[in-house]
Amino acid sequence: AGAAQAQTGTPPPPVAQGETPAAAVPDPAPHPGMRRYKVNLPPPAVFDMAVARVDADGTKWTGAATMTWHTDGSHYRASVEAGLSLLITRLNLLVTRSEGEIDDYGIAPVKSTEKRARRAETATHFNRDASTISFSAVETTYPLLVGAQDTVTVPFQLGGIGRADVNQFGGDIDIQVANDKEAVVYRFQLVGEEELDMKTGKVVTWHLNRPPKPGAYSSRLEIWLAPGLNWYPVQIRVSEGNGAVTTQTVSDIKMTEAGK
């Protein structure tokens, strides 16, 4: 896929789950419960992805998704368009977009939007002057913590953490993540090194896991990063509390001009 050389090695051992630090009103200094990570973001690319879903009742669905990541070093744009594969077209069921800046903490979202089929588009705003996160769908606001991400950018932020220093995965990775209605701290933990048998061949990955957290979120989020492919996210899986599982696996990576 024309990916640049990336640092590889043996992952540090998994660490035990701990409690997520409580959110507090942020200030210009790093939040006392949040680590500051070194980040070296991956170059721009477009990803074709196969989508496989198994509902709680066992019903199976297949689809396709396109994930994009673009940055010029100062700003970024990212998106995911996922839907069902039809005979000659694709029915988009979910379109999420994010745009913002790159700062000392890595990706710094300014606005993200989400559009689901037959629903109005919602927007999430990262108000850095006011240090708050606000939403078009609800009136609730949350304090903006350092290093905060949205659901589109968090896989690329994790990849940037790995590219900068793989040893950072030796401890919990805590990142505030905002969706369309709330912002909570995700705690990612390293599961270990795994080899995925993908359409492009066998790929060595580092498997990260965000377990369910009672009272905060019931789903499990897993992300597989490929050190030999710029630490790109090559597989993402969401296991819902009701038993439904959705897996998105990269089938092709196209480096954009800015990434060559």
pLDDT tens per residue, range 122-158: 999 999 999 999 999 999 999 999 999 999 999 999 9
Structural domain 45-259, CATH architecture: Clam (2.50)
The model carries a pTM of: 0.84
* Angstrom distances, CA of residue 125 to CA of 135, 142, 216: 6, 11, 21
**pLDDT reported for residue 86:** 63
Question: Among 222, 154, 158, which Cα is nearest to 184's?
Answer: 154
**pLDDT reported for residue 19:** 33
Between the two ends of the chain, the Cα-to-Cα distance in Å is 10
Confidence of residue 179 (pLDDT cuts 50, 70, 90): very high
- Measured CA to CA, the distance from residue 249 to residue 233 in angstroms comes to 9
All structural domains of the chain with their residue ranges: 45-259
Give the bridge partners for 102, in sequence order.
107
Question: Quick check: 254 pLDDT over 70?
Answer: yes
Question: Quick check: 24 pLDDT over 90?
Answer: no
More confident residue, 89 or 197: 197
**pLDDT reported for residue 213:** 84
- Measured CA to CA, the distance from residue 36 to residue 147 in angstroms comes to 8
Question: Quick check: 193 pLDDT over 60?
Answer: yes
Worst-scoring range by mean pLDDT, 168-172, 199-203, 206-210? 199-203
Neighbouring residues of 175: CB distance < 8 A, sequence distance ≥ 6: 147, 148, 149, 154, 157, 158, 185, 186, 188
Q: H-type helices in 36-168, by residue range? A: 154-164
**pLDDT reported for residue 17:** 31
Question: Quick check: 110 pLDDT over 60?
Answer: yes
